């Protein structure tokens, strides 16, 4: 697995609100133009994925080797619908129906802020197309955990299809120890209370102040939460059971979290992220998700069609 070296160079000063994601508010015609320009556009468009990454590096949005390797390994255009792929290498957010991708500068800042390392557990709230979760999986490696919760069932299926294509066809899959994402449909504000805590959590929708504590409690001590909070991309580190460090990273504008709807019985529709099995090699308890476990590349020969599991891999069994 690659190792990352922190780059200490100071990033160039950016215009206020330089990166925005997803749904802008209703504004005047002049303001709408400003918002459209600010839904990304912090770096020049690339001709291909590598050129886009070069531009993100030059602008100091990508600052570590691990993050660069992950961005280069997964082509952003693969997560677009075919008719929109000509826009894939622009630093812009994209939304079509329920499917969305944040601007590359946003994902760069998120990946850097998460300080990802092999073997960590990751929870992606609003996992969308699975693009971010798949990049994270390249860093987490065979003993990590990679879970995603997505509100819309059609987007969950879209993410699973994109993941299947990546595993079956991408050369990058054979070059990395990949932690395969597991996606489940549900409202991320209704995660079952007995859910395990995670080392890293990202929320891809604007978090209302009243839900800040809920999000923070998904973290283990020592864990990092990155989320849009009060129109700032915010990094929160849990330094003790009741102690936190907060850093504002970037001004952003995300669509807000959708509030839960009660079922006909009046009870919440709880999202089940099951409790942790113990890994047979490390003896370490790790969160179990709704889908496959992570696996090392030395066991990846021979992909079984219709499955994300390659023959010869070691799986956890969930009951």
Active site residue ranges: 102
Q: What is each CA distance from 135 to 68, 237, 254, 279, 299, in whole angstroms?
A: 10, 21, 21, 23, 20
Burial class (CB in 10 A: 0-12, 13-18, 19+), 126: buried
Backbone angles phi, psi at 74, to 5 degrees: -120, 120
With helix as H, strand as E and coil as C, how does the chain read? CCCCCCCCCCCCCCCCCCECCCCCCCCCHHHHHHHHHHEECCCCCCCCHHHHHHHHHHCCCCCCHHHHHHHHHCCHHHHCCHHHHHHCCCCECEEECCEEECCHHHHHHHHHHHCCCCCCEEEEECCCCCHHHHHHHHHHCCCCEEEEEECCHHHHHHHHHHHHHHHHHCHHHHCCCCCCCEEEECCHHHECCCCCCEEEEEECCEECHHHHHHHHCCEEEEEEEEEEECCEEEEEEEEECCEEEEEEEEECCCCECCCCCCCCCCCCCCECCCCCCECCCCCCECCCCCCCCCCCHHHCCCECCCCCCECCCCCCCCC
Q: How far apart are CA 180 and CA 221, in angstroms?
A: 24
């Amino acid at each position: 697995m690659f190792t990352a070296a922190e780059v200490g160079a100071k990033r160039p000063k950016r215009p206020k609100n330089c990166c925005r994601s997803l749904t802008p508010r209703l504004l005047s015609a002049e303001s709408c133009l400003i918002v459209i320009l600010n839904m990304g556009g912090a770096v020049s468009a690339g001709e291909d994925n590598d050129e886009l990454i070069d531009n993100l590096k030059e602008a100091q949005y990508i600052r570590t080797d691990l993050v660069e390797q992950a961005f280069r390994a997964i082509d952003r255009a693969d997560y677009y619908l075919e008719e929109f792929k000509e826009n894939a290498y622009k630093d812009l957010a994209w939304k079509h129906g329920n499917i969305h991708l944040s601007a590359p500068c946003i994902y760069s800042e998120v990946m850097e802020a998460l300080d990802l390392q092999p073997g960590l557990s990751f929870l992606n709230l609003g996992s969308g197309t699975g693009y971010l979760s798949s990049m994270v999986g390249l860093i987490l490696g065979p003993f990590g955990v990679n879970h995603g919760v997505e509100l819309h069932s059609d987007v969950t299926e879209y993410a699973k299809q994109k993941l299947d294509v990546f595993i079956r066809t991408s050369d990058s899959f054979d070059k990395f120890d990949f932690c395969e994402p597991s996606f489940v449909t549900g409202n991320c504000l209704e995660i079952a209370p007995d859910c395990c805590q995670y080392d890293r959590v990202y929320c891809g929708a604007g978090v209302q102040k009243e839900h800040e504590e809920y999000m923070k409690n998904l973290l283990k001590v020592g864990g990092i939460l990155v989320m849009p909070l009060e129109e700032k991309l915010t990094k929160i580190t849990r330094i003790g059971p009741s102690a936190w460090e907060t850093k504002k990273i970037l001004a952003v504008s995300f669509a807000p979290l959708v509030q839960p709807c009660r079922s006909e019985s009046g009870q919440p529709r709880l999202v089940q992220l099951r409790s942790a099995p113990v890994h047979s090699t490390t003896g370490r308890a790790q969160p179990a998700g709704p889908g496959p476990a992570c696996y090392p590349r030395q066991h990846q020969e021979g992909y079984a069609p219709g499955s994300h599991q390659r023959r010869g891999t070691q799986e956890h069994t969930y009951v």
